[in-house]
Structure 1
Amino acid sequence: MRTGLTSVLSASAATLYERLIVSGGLSLVEHPDLPASSEARELIDKGFARERYVDLPRLVPVEPIRAVDNAILTKQRQILDQYQTLLHMRDEMQALQQVYRSSVFSGEPGDLVRVITDPQEIGALSVELCLSAQYDVVSLETEHFTRPPDPRSARSLPAEVLERGVCFRNIYSRAALEVPGATEMLRKSQESGWLCRVYPHLPMKLVLVDERAALLPLGPTGMEGAALVRSPVITAALRTYFELLWSRAVSIDGTPAKVPPEQDQVLRLVLTGMTDGAIARSLGISERTVRRHVQALLKALGATNRVTLAVAAVREGWVD
């Protein structure tokens, strides 16, 4: 039996197909039970054999090259069906997401801000918000901890979140890096994909996700209580505040922070006047990724369009 056949046929069906090839076909009169056999049905369904009723009825093989083409078409249909199923699932999940958001945030004043006092719920909600991010998670970290940071608790960012192209950025207060264990925790965070900068002093901690939800601490550590804020007005103000700090923060080694490498390439091509499509082809990435990087650059530099982006990039020293 040729092993290539077993990639598309069961072993018994592959054996029958080779038998049909060698014999030129099998008489259905001599083998009356053959058409009902699972091997024969598999060959017929997958386009490797057919029943012929000219003269004596026979089960005959389909020419190998045509059979392979039939197998490829069958596989393509299966892949297309699976793709359509995934698209349908995504649409259903989007609908459920809207229901979820409506149940958590109905738009009533009492739902704009919710106070949480259970430390475990605060921690779980912080993780849940980050995992649900579509494009951006930003945070502020101060020197106030309920216990010293444990580098062993650092975890890599989930693959499914990174595949969505979510950007993770964090600003540390300078004093936070002097807490035992913080430096090692910072190193592991950077290795897992966080972009980190340092600012001399931060008044509070913060987690902001997609400019749709924020966790604000009610005390120094954030574990005494936190406010879950979904007010678009407040989250937009927090975004502006974070981007202002980010533009003034420095890299961990103390040098002025530059644009991340993957965004630097996009920025320099944007400044040449290239379209998103042209940039995507040049860098071998998708247009969606290019647009995401451009939006991140606009926010980071407080620009409103590509012209003001160029001016701001030169002003901040991001390009020569």
Structure 2
Amino acid sequence: MRTGLTSVLSESAAELYERLIASGGLSLSDHPDLPGSAAARELIDKGFARERYVDRPKIVPVEPISAVDNAILTKQWQILDQYQALLRLRDEMQALQRIYLSATVAEEPRDLVRILTDPDEIGALSVELCLSAQHEVASLETGYFSRPPDPRSARGVPAEVLERGVRFRNIYAQAALEVPGAADMLRISREAGWQCRVYPRLPMRMVLVDERAALLPLARTGVEGALLVRAPVITAALRTYFELLWNRAISLDVNPAKVSPEQDQVLRLVLTGMTDTAIARHLGVSERTVRRHIQALLAALGVTNRITLAVAAIREGWAD
């Protein structure tokens, strides 16, 4: 039996279809039970066979090319039905989401500080907080990981959250850009709607939502436990701390009006204090290429070393 048939037909229907192809059709007088069999009904319903009553009544096969076109058309209609069902489900979930958000905002927190130790609960709560944001999500990302990060795990931003006008900002520690896959992770995050900057060193991770809740790690990686803080005085202090870091962090937005996009990327990573080796690893290029870009930047700004390069770049408005 051809295995491709069983991807669209049951095994019994596939066997019957091959018999029909080999024989040119089966007479109903010789096989009186055939029209009522499940295999025959499946073939007819899916467009692989038909009943013919000219001369001797028969069940005959549909030409294989036409049969597979029928199968494709049937599958397309099924996918369309499933897609429309998902759209209806999404509309229903959005209505429930609005009810959920209104209840979440109105609810007075019972525990101003709570310790969490279940990694699954911590991850779910982090997502839930971001989805419930009304104004802004601010986060810090260090270079401490329990295992190398997967770029596919980069946090996306649901369209309905962006439609509410929620702003997403993230500050990466310099060390976070030096781990394998960091460039892809950063690219995916920015494409998803995050504004990203880099700061030389960060002492901890953090997720701060609307200045009403913050999630802080109890250890470096954050998987050992976390602290959920809803105390307004503490979340306000964390907001001030984040803004101080944000104003001093280096933006990763490209400014093509000044230099080439490649040179702009190198310049911004130089400003974070990264070495040529770390920059090359992050961008996926050779150290020679990095040094060539740095020399071009030095010549363009009329300076001779990295220290004066940073000063001149900021003075000339080449970097935020």
Please, what TM-score do these two structures have when normalized by structure 2? Answer: 0.53
> Is 2:32 aligned against 1:32?
yes
Q: Per-residue CA shift, 1:156-197, capped at 9, x if unaligned?
A: 47748449699772355xxxx9xxxxx589847947836662
Q: Which residue of 2 aligns with 1:52?
A: 52
For residues 154 and 141 of structure 1, the distance between their equivalents in structure 2, rounded to whole angstroms, comes to 14
- Counterparts in 2 of 1:91 and 1:213: CA distance versus 1, 3 Å: farther
Q: 1:16 Cα deviation (Å)?
A: 1.7
Find 2:185's aligned residue among 193, 199, 204. Answer: 193
Q: Which residue of 2 aligns with 1:95?
A: 95
The aligned runs of 1:75-86 (5 Å cut-off) are 75-86=75-86
Q: Which residue of 1 aligns with 2:124?
A: 128
Question: Structure 1 vs Structure 2: percent identity of aligned residues?
Answer: 45
Q: Which residue of 2 aligns with 1:20?
A: 20
Q: Per-residue CA shift, 1:238-264, capped at 9, x if unaligned?
A: 4x98467435314xxxxxx43279xx9
Q: Per-residue CA shift, 1:74-95, capped at 9, x if unaligned?
A: 1111222222233233333333
Q: Which residue of 1 aligns with 2:114?
A: 117
For residues 314 and 7 of structure 1, the distance between their equivalents in structure 2, rounded to whole angstroms, comes to 65
Give SS of 2:229's match. strand
For residues 226 and 5 of structure 2, the distance between their equivalents in structure 1, rounded to whole angstroms, comes to 65
> Is 2:202 aligned against 1:208?
no
What one-letter code is carried by the residue in structure 1 that aligns with 2:318? G
8 Å CA contact retained: 1:116, 1:227: yes
Q: Per-residue CA shift, 1:71-120, capped at 9, x if unaligned?
A: 11011112222222332333333333333323322x36x46x96123354
Q: 1:24 Cα deviation (Å)?
A: 2.5
Q: Which segment drifts farther, 80-89 or 70-79?
A: 80-89
Q: Which residue of 1 aligns with 2:287?
A: none
8 Å CA contact retained: 1:114, 1:228: yes
Q: Which residue of 1 aligns with 2:230?
A: 228
8 Å CA contact retained: 2:213, 2:228: no
What one-letter code is carried by the residue in structure 2 that aligns with 1:41? R
8 Å CA contact retained: 1:17, 1:61: yes
For residues 212 and 123 of structure 2, the distance between their equivalents in structure 1, rounded to whole angstroms, comes to 13
What one-letter code is carried by the residue in structure 1 that aligns with 2:230? L
CA RMSD of aligned residues (A): 5.0
> Is 2:261 aligned against 1:259?
no
Gaps of 5+ in 2: 163-167, 187-195, 265-313
Q: 1:141 Cα deviation (Å)?
A: 7.1
What one-letter code is carried by the residue in structure 1 that aligns with 2:139? S
| Number of residue equivalences | 237
For residues 314 and 45 of structure 1, the distance between their equivalents in structure 2, rounded to whole angstroms, comes to 74
For residues 177 and 96 of structure 2, the distance between their equivalents in structure 1, rounded to whole angstroms, comes to 36
- Counterparts in 2 of 1:189 and 1:115: CA distance versus 1, 3 Å: farther
Please, what TM-score do these two structures have when normalized by structure 1? Answer: 0.53
The aligned runs of 1:308-319 (5 Å cut-off) are 316-317=317-318
Q: Which segment drifts farther, 163-172 or 65-74?
A: 163-172
Q: 1:68 Cα deviation (Å)?
A: 1.6
Q: Which residue of 1 aligns with 2:170?
A: 169
What one-letter code is carried by the residue in structure 2 that aligns with 1:193? M
8 Å CA contact retained: 2:29, 2:57: yes
For residues 144 and 201 of structure 2, the distance between their equivalents in structure 1, rounded to whole angstroms, comes to 23
For residues 126 and 260 of structure 1, the distance between their equivalents in structure 2, rounded to whole angstroms, comes to 34
Gaps of 5+ in 1: 143-148, 178-182, 251-256, 269-312
Give SS of 1:54's match. coil
